Structure 1
Amino acid sequence: MTTQAELDDRYGRTARPGRRRLLIAAGAVIAAVVVGWLGWTTVANTMDAVSVDGLGYEVRDEHTVVVSFQLTAPPGRSVACTVQALDQEFGVVGWKIVEYDSDGGHAMSRTETVPTVAEATTGLVETCWVT
């Protein structure tokens, strides 16, 4: 008759003393790498963050909207923004991409004129990004 020890030895079920420590160490290394990567991506995304506050708009005529806004960007970085004009049904009737060189400051106030193909009812800044 075959004993339990012989079966364990035959099918590789014998205990290895260093295996558990190796698995724990590998898990700790993987966890440290994941936490480090998440930390770095958070810092990198925050360094290039741009925030925009709309200050107002003026519909000058059926082909022109003036949009005023303030943006906060990382100092020393140039920024690009998409400015849009929308109609009553929130369809885009005009848009413009504008680029601003760094002036060394952190906050900038800007006013942009957006040409439209139909009469707009509002104007806004869709998004801004660091270039």
Structure 2
Amino acid sequence: MPLPRTAPGTLKWWVIGSIGIAIGVALAIWFGLSATVGLPTWQVTGYKVVDDDSVRVDFEVHSPGGEDLTCTVQALAGDFAVVGSTDVPVELAGADSTRTSVALRTTSRAVTGDVKTCVVAP
């Protein structure tokens, strides 16, 4: 049994649609990569709630250019309210990555510590 043929004149629209979808996918990939390549990344490796007034946050940062960074570290309460925050200078001295630990004072008991952002130091 032979496969059915498309209606006359519709093949052109299938080709145009397929090319349009391929261009859209390529543009989405290009925009996504251009927005993230070369930017610093970070990962929290651990945290410890020391007492009601402090928390220690351990994290690793990676800067593709080896540039020094300034990271904003936060302590969060159970309702995700920020109960402590500080800016930490991270010196990479030409290396691509480093591990850092910071003790953070809080206004009330924190349940977690997190790195909000890291930017290239001015």
TM range (shorter): 0.5 to 0.7
C-alpha separation in 1, matches of 2:103 and 2:70: 15
* Match of residue 105, structure 2, among 103, 112, 115: 115
Offset at 1:46? Answer: 2.8
The alignment's TM-score, normalised by the length of structure 2, stands at 0.68
The answer on whether the counterparts of 1:57 and 1:68 sit within 8 Å (CA) in structure 2 is: yes
* 1:56 and 2:46 aligned: yes
C-alpha separation in 2, matches of 1:94 and 1:115: 6
The alignment's TM-score, normalised by the length of structure 1, stands at 0.63
What secondary structure is seen at the aligned counterpart in 2 of 1:75?
coil
Gaps of 5+ in 2: 1-29
Offset at 1:113? Answer: 0.6
The answer on whether the counterparts of 2:52 and 2:106 sit within 8 Å (CA) in structure 1 is: yes
The answer on whether the counterparts of 2:83 and 2:108 sit within 8 Å (CA) in structure 1 is: yes
* 1:101 and 2:94 aligned: no
Q: CA RMSD in A?
A: 2.1
The answer on whether the counterparts of 1:81 and 1:98 sit within 8 Å (CA) in structure 2 is: yes
- The ranges of structure 1 where at least 4 consecutive aligned residues each deviate by more than 2 angstroms after the TM superposition are none
Q: Rg: which structure is higher? A: 1
Match of 1:46 in 2: 37
Fraction of identical pairs, as percent: 32
